């Protein structure tokens, strides 16, 4: 059996047990949307290596799916808002001195349900 399918069955089994998990740490061989969905259903965070599978670049975003500003600086992951299930990103340090410049907004948030695979908490590419 494929590892990804086995993981989904395992996670469904965990759901039936009187225990909880907070995180699912997996390698890129487990990078499948149903695994993220199953972890989300368990109220656990996904920490799964991203498998590009020949996907092209995402215009306006960096390689970790963080928004980039007009000057091509990536927004930095700041924190996870548990209540709203959203990631908070802040403007890059390079753009901070340009605080009055309306082209670089200070903060942006994205709900993880926008794309459970790309938006994990902590955010992809962050030190956390």
Q: Which is nearer to Zn ion, 52 or 72 (CB)?
A: 72
* Site residues, Zn ion (CB under 5 A): 69, 71, 73, 95, 104
> Could you tell me the two tokens for 44?
């656990």
- Nearest approach in angstroms of CB 27 to Zn ion is 34
CA–CA separation, 75 vs 34, rounded Å? 28
Measured distance CA(106)–CA(73) in Å, rounded: 12
Residue 48 or 95 having the CB closest to Zn ion: 95
Least distance from Zn ion to the Cβ atom of residue 21, Å = 38
CB 73 → Zn ion: shortest distance, Å? 5
Cα four-point dihedral sign 10, 12, 15, 17 = negative
Q: Are 78 and 90 in contact (CB under 8 A)?
A: yes
Least distance from Zn ion to the Cβ atom of residue 28, Å: 31
C-beta closer to Zn ion: residue 35 or 95? 95
Of the pair 19, 103, the CB lying nearest Zn ion is at 103
Alpha-carbon dihedral 98, 101, 104, 105, rounded to 10 degrees: 110
């Amino acid at each position: 059996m494929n590892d990804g399918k086995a993981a989904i069955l395992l996670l469904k089994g965990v759901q039936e047990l009187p225990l909880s998990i907070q995180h699912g740490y997996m390698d890129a061989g487990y990078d499948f949307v149903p695994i993220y969905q199953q972890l989300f259903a368990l109220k656990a965070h996904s920490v799964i290596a991203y498998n590009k599978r020949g996907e092209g670049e995402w215009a306006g975003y960096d390689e970790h799916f963080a928004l980039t500003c007009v000057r091509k600086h990536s927004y930095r992951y700041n924190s996870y808002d548990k209540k709203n299930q959203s990631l908070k990103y802040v403007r890059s340090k390079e753009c901070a001195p340009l605080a009055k410049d309306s082209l670089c907004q200070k903060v942006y948030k994205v709900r993880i349900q926008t794309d459970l695979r790309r938006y994990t908490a902590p955010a992809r590419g962050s030190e956390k």
